[in-house]
Amino acid sequence: MKKILVTGGLGYIGSHVVVELQSSGFEVVIIDDLSNSSLDVLDGIFDITGVRPIFEKIDLKEKELVIDFFKRHSDIDGVIHFAAAKAVGESVDDPLKYYENNISSLVYILKALQDFKSTKFVFSSSCTVYGQADELPITENAPVKEAESPYGNTKKIGEQMIKDLCNCNDSFAAIALRYFNPIGGHSSAKIGELPIGVPQNLVPFVTQTAIGIRKELSIFGKDYPTPDGTCIRDYIHVVDLAKAHIVALNRLFDEKKSNHYEVFNIGTGKGSSVLEVVNAFMRVTGVNLNYCFTDRRCGDIVSAYADTIKANTVLGWKARLSLEDALASAWKWEKSLQN
């Protein structure tokens, strides 16, 4: 049984990936510093899979602790790296926190992998590296643009660091997955997204408004050059996204297929506007949502959706679940939090 380290494995995407790993027969070790997650997530993972993963509370910025971890777990076969801070606005206010959190910790973990000869690495990257792409849908060949925020820059730099390491180390192989907009939760409603404070992302704000925690959803801008005037994104069900990690990992383990360093877009290939999401949510849940239009949000791009041909053909992965499935699961999760 292959043993996989998942850093940030108690977070939103990480926890869904842990479930898919355990369901696919991998043994999982989680490192998380609990800065944006909760130990309760371990119970949710156990309830779904019947297996409690090994867990260690470690802050990856503590270099000695990272080395010590690998000394004790020298049999790790592969790593999926999520541990990172991800609030775009906060990264603008406190850029060094983001460089320290997301870059220093990545350096330490890559160094440890090199020293301990663990050589398979999946990196959690983002479509944010494309900025406002010149052409839609966005292919992996689209130029990586100047980052819109320090957070986005850490993803861009992270990818470059990993690529550099792959270039100088023949035995090291990595895949960067560029996520579009992950939403929703596990169908069991045992795990899901747990935003701290006021949600910055659309779907948690929608569900919190629907349940009465927020009074009204502000739709940021109604005069964008799109059919209904609101921004367009590629919303992908987090369970589909999680499954992409298993396929990526298996590709790295397959010496015949593994290609040293590769990037893949992980999205549905379909763009949906903010208004389409809001209307789909009301249709699927039967709940009326209070919303109003406000000014554009600074830094928002007009439209982004993935060209998924590379992921479909090379990885053999495809998003299966619909926007409606994802919104229904997000609503089920929100309701479960009230109980």
Q: Please identify every residue annotated as catalytic.
A: 151
Which of 23, 38, 187, 200 is close enough to bind ligand WQD by CB under 6 A? 200
Q: Which stretch binds ligand WQD (CB under 6 A): 8-16, 54-62, 212-220, 320-328?
A: 212-220
Pick the piece of the chain touching ligand WQD (CB under 6 A) from 27-35, 73-81, 211-219, 260-268. Answer: 211-219
Six-digit token string for 153:
């820059």
Complex with ligand WQD: residue 111 or 297, whichever CB lies closer: 297
Q: At what angle do helices 150-168 and 105-116 cross, to 10 degrees?
A: 20
Looking at the Cβ atoms of 171 and 294, the one nearer to ligand WQD is: 294
Nearer to ligand WQD, 126 or 207 (CB): 126
> Residue 65 or 161: which CB sits closer to ligand WQD?
161
Q: Which C-beta is closer to ligand WQD: that of 112 or that of 304?
A: 304
Under 8 Å between Cβ of 77 and 2: yes
Judged by beta carbon, residue 63 or residue 222, the one nearer ligand WQD is 222
Instruction: Give the SS3 label for residue 181.
Output: strand
Closest CB to ligand WQD among residues 51, 103: 103
* The only residue of 7, 15, 128, 272 in contact with ligand WQD, by rule CB under 6 A: 128
Long-range contacts of 252-255, Cβ-Cβ distance < 8 Å, separation of 24 or more: 252/78, 252/120, 252/121, 252/122, 252/173, 252/174, 252/175, 253/2, 253/77, 253/78, 253/120
- Phi and psi (nearest 5°) for 36? -140, 35
Alpha-carbon distance 69 to 178, whole Å?
A: 28
CB 66 within 8 A of CB 108: yes
CB of 234 to ligand WQD, least distance (A): 9
Q: In this chain, which of 174, 202, 238, 275 binds ligand WQD, going by CB under 6 A?
A: 202
Q: Of residues 84-123, which lie at the interface with ligand WQD (CB under 6 A)?
A: 88
From candidates 27, 90, 94, 300, binder to ligand WQD by CB under 6 A: 300
- Cβ contacts of 146 within 8 Å, gap of 6 or more: 131
Q: According to the binding rule CB under 6 A, does residue 274 interact with ligand WQD?
A: yes
Pinpoint the alpha helices (H) of the chain.
12-23, 40-49, 63-72, 88-93, 95-98, 105-116, 150-168, 202-211, 238-253, 274-285, 309-310, 323-337
Cβ neighbours of 199 (radius 10 Å): 18
Among 130-138, 185-193, 196-204, 241-249, the segment contacting ligand WQD (CB under 6 A) = 196-204
Is there binding between residue 156 and ligand WQD (CB under 6 A)?
no
Sole binder of ligand WQD in the list 24, 218, 258, 336 (CB under 6 A): 218
Of the residues 46, 99, 116, 220, which one makes contact with ligand WQD according to CB under 6 A: 220
Q: What is the DSSP letter of 130?
A: G
**Region from 4-12, 48-56, 214-222, 322-330 binding ligand WQD, contact rule CB under 6 A:** 214-222
Residue 42 token pair: 């371990």
Count of residues near ligand WQD by CB under 6 A: 18
In the chain the first and final C-alpha atoms are separated, in Å, by: 37
Binding of ligand WQD by 272 (CB under 6 A): no
Nearest to 45 by CA among 251, 330, 247, 242: 242
Report the interface residues with ligand WQD, using CB under 6 A: 88, 126, 128, 152, 181, 200-202, 205, 217-220, 231, 233, 274, 297, 300
